[in-house]
Structure 1
Amino acid sequence: MGTRTDEVLAVTGLVKRFGERTVVDGVTFQIRAGETFGLLGPNGAGKTTIISMVTGLIPADAGSVSVVGEAMTPSTTGPKRHIVLFPQELAIYPDLTARENLRFFGRLQGLRGQELTSRTEEVLELIGLADRAGDQTKKFSGGMKRRLNIGIGLLHRPTLLILDEPTVGVDPQSRNSILESVEGLATEGMAVVNESTRLR
C-alpha cells in the first residue's frame, strides 16, 4: 500500500512481547500533517512501549513503523531527524531567561543569526511566553516551564512531536494553557502525538 504524501506517521500491526507477556498486540494507526493524536490509556497499557517503538528506541517483534515514508528501526537514523520526543522530565536551565534558553538550544540545533532570532520570537509567541521572555525560568510555574520545554523542541520545526504526559504535576490553569499550546501546533503543520492517561 502506498503512503499518502501528507502521512507523517504510519504504524501497522505493532507487536511487542517481554518474555511470555504481550504488551502491545497488533496496534495500527496513522497520523497526517496538522493532526493531533491522543494515545490514551491507564498506566501499564503499553503506551510508553508503543512510543519507544515509534521513535526507534526498541525493536518491534512484529509490524512496522514509518516516519514521512521512511522505515523506523533502532538502527535507522534518517527518520529520527523528523521527530522530537518530550519525556516528563524538564530540560531547561533555571538561571537563564526563557529567551536565553531558546537561543542556547536553538544554536545546538544549528540555528544562527537572523533565523535564530526570528524563530526564537515566533516560538515565544506560540507558547504564550512572549511577555515573560526576559525572566529567569527558575521564577516560572511548573506549567510555564513545560511550555518552554515544548518550545525548545519546536525551534527547528520538527515534523512529528511526541509528548509524554505534558500536563503531569501542573495546576488546572496551566494544564489548559499547555493543551491550548499543543492544539495550536497543528497550525505549524506538525503532527502531534500526546501520550496521556486522560483526555484533560
Structure 2
Amino acid sequence: MTAAGQLQSAPILGVSSLVKRYDTRTVVDDVSFHIEAGETYGLLGPNGAGKTTIISMVAGLIPADSGSIELMGAVMTPTSTRVKGHIGLVPQELAIYPDLTAKENLMFFGRLQGLKGKELRQRTDLVLDLIGLGDRAREQTKKFSGGMKRRLNIGIGLLHRPTLLILDEPTVGVDPQSRNSILESVETLASEGMAVLYTTHYMEEAERLCDRIAIIDQGRIQAEGTGIN
C-alpha cells in the first residue's frame, strides 16, 4: 500500500475511553468511536444523554477528565489551536448577527477563520448556494425563518472547508422544508469526502444520514451499528 493509501485509510477522528464528570456525576462514561473520511457518524439519544458534552470535548471546547481524542493523528485538547482549524462546529444555539445579511454574516465569520479577498468571496457564494440561500443573500437575517437561520448557521461552519464537520441537533425546531434541505446538504458534504459527526434524537434522521450510529444514554454507548443507507 502507498503512503497516500495509508493516509486515506486512517480515521479522521479517533475517540478512546472518553470520560467527563461534573462533581460526583459522570455525564460521559468510557465512550470510544472513530470516523473515517466521507463517513457520517451519528450520536443518537434523548436530551441529556451526553451527546453535546461529547462533541464539546471533541471540538476542544472543554477538557476530558480521562481518555483521548485524535484528529488527523494529532491530539485534541482545549489548547490545540492548530488542529481546531480542521473542525467546523455547528452548535444548537444560533451564532449569527440578525442585523447583517446572510452574505455579510458569512463574510464576517470567514475573515475570523482566516479567509480573505477572492477566496473569501468565492467560498461565500459557494456556501450560499449549498445551503439554498443564494437568492436571499442580501436580506437581513432577522427576517429569516428559523429554518433559514439554521441553514446559515451550518454555512458558517463550512466556510473554511473543515475536514470534520460537527452538527449538534441542527434540525431542532425547523419546518419540514428546511429540515429536508439541511439533510440534503449533509448528504452532499459526506459524498464529497467530508467526515461528519451528527447528533440527533430523531431516529429517522440517523437512519437516513448515518453510515454508523451509536445509541447514547446516561453518558454511555449502549449500542453501535450501521444505518440503513
The TM-score with structure 2 as length reference comes to 0.79
Give, in angstroms, the shift of residue 188 of structure 1. 4.1
Corresponding residue for residue 29 of structure 1: 33
The alignment yields a C-alpha RMSD, in angstroms, of: 1.8
Which of 81, 98, 113 in structure 1 is aligned with 2:117?
113
Corresponding residue for residue 18 of structure 1: 22
In the alignment of these two chains, the number of paired residues is 197
1:123 aligns with 2:127: yes
Residue aligned with 1:65, SS: strand
Corresponding residue for residue 96 of structure 2: 92
1:137 aligns with 2:135: no
Give, in angstroms, the shift of residue 132 of structure 1. 1.8
The Cα offsets for residues 117-159 of structure 1, whole Å up to 9 and x where unpaired, read as 2111111111111122222222211111111111112111111
Corresponding residue for residue 66 of structure 2: 62
Paired letter, 1:48 = T
Corresponding residue for residue 175 of structure 2: 171
Change over 3 Å in CA distance of 1:95–1:74 after alignment to 2: closer
Corresponding residue for residue 49 of structure 2: 45
Corresponding residue for residue 5 of structure 1: 7
Change over 3 Å in CA distance of 1:28–1:99 after alignment to 2: same
Change over 3 Å in CA distance of 1:132–1:16 after alignment to 2: same
**Unpaired stretches in structure 1, ≥5 consecutive residues:** none
Corresponding residue for residue 166 of structure 2: 162
The TM-score with structure 1 as length reference comes to 0.89
Report the identity percentage. Answer: 73
Change over 3 Å in CA distance of 1:74–1:138 after alignment to 2: closer
Q: Report if the CA contact (8 A) 1:40-1:195 is conserved.
A: yes
Which of 81, 85, 89 in structure 1 is aligned with 2:85?
81
**Unpaired stretches in structure 2, ≥5 consecutive residues:** 1-5, 206-229
Corresponding residue for residue 202 of structure 2: 198
Task: Tell me the distance in 1 between the aligned counterparts of 2:20 and 2:109.
Answer: 34
Change over 3 Å in CA distance of 1:78–1:111 after alignment to 2: closer
Task: Tell me the distance in 2 between the aligned counterparts of 1:18 and 1:135.
Answer: 43
Paired letter, 2:15 = V
Paired letter, 2:35 = I
Residue aligned with 1:53, SS: helix
Paired letter, 1:157 = R
Task: Tell me the distance in 2 between the aligned counterparts of 1:77 and 1:170.
Answer: 33
Task: Tell me the distance in 1 between the aligned counterparts of 2:56 and 2:111.
Answer: 27
